[in-house]
Chain A
């Protein structure tokens, strides 16, 4: 089946620095990808919709300047957490829609971010 790869799986960064998380669709083209944040034992919270070749659409309450999303190609979207703070520590997960495969949505493996 289709695969979405997310990298890195784990990352630790210092407060004030920026960290980038990649989401790649390995065997299909994804014009749309979604970025979620998940706190322990809670549901997935949609942060933004990443659109290839255009600006991301952010959900209400999500800081655009803090969570930068770039979708420069049909197989890659990146989430950059800028000026990271400890409260940004969380599990981040992406998903991508296979427009040519029944519009199925596939999830990446997720990325654990710890800000120290």
Chain B
């Protein structure tokens, strides 16, 4: 079974600074998707970034980028120029590249990020 581990329950960052959120996962499969989701106080799940395992290039979305280390099964999220609106709970998630029931997401425990003004 696949597992996703986020070992840091909380982190804090100064506004405009950079922060890295850690995530490791375990799987025996070679093809899969990895995600970072943001959940603000509204509880809406917002997709931040997605990485396909077959792609060696790290995904980037504006101020958000990942460091995907497939051999180490590590998938960290870097937030640059942190903003107050980045304060939220962040979840790392794994998914197999299928449709139907086999496409369910496996989530880490999440990390609460606070941004200091």
Contact = CB atoms under 8 A, between A and B. Distances in A.
Given A91-B43, A110-B43, A105 B95 contact: yes
Contacts of B112: 41
Nearest to A45: B107
B44 A105 contact: no
Interface stretch (A11-19, A76-84, A95-103): A95-103
Contact of A43 (B44, B103, B108): B108
Contacts of B91: 43-44
A105 B43 contact: no
B110 A107 contact: no
B27 to A, nearest CB: 17
Interface of B: 42-45, 89, 91, 95, 97-101, 103-105, 107-110, 112
